[in-house]
């Protein structure tokens, strides 16, 4: 009886929360065409396109907070290519559209760097 209830709960959790099963699978590695496309979109004249590019870059840079490792593998010098996006992201912070600013700030926050960005406020140290 208890096994039956346990199996139903486990299967039900997998059915109603498919993200639990997907968290186990590894994501495909970042490819050069993705970064080049993001860089091109960040130079686009439309803020909405720029904001979507910043959001996608943020997603590619996302780390697994629990295991402290990148969710995606970055081959070769793709991380150096992505560094070219920083200037465009800083420009997006000056736009008056909240979603674009939020995505740009989140993408900048995902870069692994000790440098501060000119024109941004420093967080107080405890």
Q: What is the pLDDT of residues 18-72, one digit of tens each?
A: 444 445 567 788 888 988 899 999 998 899 999 999 999 888 887 766 556 667 7
Long-range contact list for 99-108, CB < 8 A, 24+ apart? 99/51, 100/47, 100/48, 100/50, 100/51, 100/54, 103/51, 103/52, 103/54, 103/55, 103/58, 104/50, 104/51, 104/54, 106/54, 106/55, 106/58, 107/54, 107/55, 107/57, 107/58, 107/61
Query: Rounded to whole angstroms, how far apart are CA atoms 107 and 6?
Result: 41
Q: Does the residue 116 lie in any domain?
A: no
Q: Does the residue 9 lie in any domain?
A: no
Residues 61-109: tens digit of each pLDDT: 877 665 566 677 777 788 788 888 888 999 999 988 899 999 999 888 8
Confidence of residue 115 (pLDDT cuts 50, 70, 90): low
Q: Does the residue 126 lie in any domain?
A: no
Q: Does the residue 1 lie in any domain?
A: no
Number of domains in the chain: 1
Q: Does the residue 12 lie in any domain?
A: no
Q: Does the residue 73 lie in any domain?
A: yes
Q: Does the residue 3 lie in any domain?
A: no
Q: Does the residue 23 lie in any domain?
A: no
47 lies in which domain range?
30-110
The domain spanning residue 37 has which CATH number?
1.25.10
């Amino acid at each position: 009886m208890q096994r039956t209830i346990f199996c139903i709960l486990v299967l039900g959790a997998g059915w109603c929360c498919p993200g639990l099963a997907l968290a186990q699978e590894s994501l495909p590695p970042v490819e050069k065409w993705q970064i080049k496309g993001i860089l091109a979109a960040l130079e686009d004249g439309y803020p909405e396109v720029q904001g979507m590019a910043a959001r996608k870059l943020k997603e590619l840079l996302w780390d697994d907070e629990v295991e402290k490792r990148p969710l995606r593998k970055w081959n070769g010098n793709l991380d150096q290519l992505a560094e070219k996006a920083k200037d465009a992201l800083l420009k997006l912070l000056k736009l008056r559209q909240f979603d674009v600013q939020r995505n740009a700030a989140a993408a900048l926050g995902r870069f692994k760097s000790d440098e501060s960005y000119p024109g941004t406020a420093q967080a107080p140290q405890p």
